[in-house]
């Protein structure tokens, strides 16, 4: 006897696919504010660790690059253009633990400005890398929205 009704049109029920067993990278989706807080907090922690272990601005600059990439990748698609804006702020905030504070707050502030001036290559490089990632993600997001519409 042939079936009638919605069951006849739908066809067989597909079984759910098994969950992947391999390890995957985390895929958080941060808002624009969350991405800014992530990179500022990360750079403050990395600046403090660098001040304790290495006392090197070059090591700090190298540690800035992965934070830039992760921030650009983890910010959700709608807020992706905010990532390159927060990165220079985070770089400057993370320099405070590395700055020479022997002369109080003015000395620390002067150390931050000196660090920004001498480590501008890392700052611009990291922001450029994040900017390229953000632009590629944004173009892909806009194309996907146009295809759906």
Q: What is the pLDDT of residue 2?
A: 56
Pair 87, 68: CB distance under 8 Å:
yes
Q: What is the pLDDT of residue 28?
A: 77
pTM metric for this prediction: 0.78
**Joined tokens for residue 80:** 């992706």
Q: What is the pLDDT of residue 16?
A: 57
Distance of alpha carbon 145 from alpha carbon 73, whole angstroms: 19
**Joined tokens for residue 137:** 């993600």
Structural domain boundaries of the chain? 29-148
**Joined tokens for residue 120:** 């501008």
| Residue 18 pLDDT greater than 60, yes or no | no
Q: What is the pLDDT of residue 100?
A: 79
| Residue 57 pLDDT greater than 90, yes or no | yes
């Amino acid at each position: 006897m042939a079936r009638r009704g919605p069951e006849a049109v739908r066809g067989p029920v597909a079984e759910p696919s098994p969950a992947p067993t391999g390890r995957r990278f985390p895929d958080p989706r941060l808002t624009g504010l969350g991405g800014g807080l992530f990179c500022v907090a990360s750079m403050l922690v990395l600046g403090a660790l660098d001040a304790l272990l290495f006392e090197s601005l070059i090591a700090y600059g190298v540690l800035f690059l992965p934070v830039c990439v992760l921030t650009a990748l983890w910010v959700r698609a709608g807020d992706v253009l905010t990532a390159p804006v927060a990165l220079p702020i985070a770089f400057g905030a993370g320099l405070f633990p590395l700055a020479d504070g022997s002369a109080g707050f003015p000395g620390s502030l002067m150390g931050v400005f000196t660090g920004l001036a001498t480590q501008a290559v890392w700052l611009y490089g990291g922001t450029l890398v994040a900017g390229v990632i953000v632009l590629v993600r944004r173009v892909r997001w806009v194309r996907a929205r146009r295809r759906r519409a």
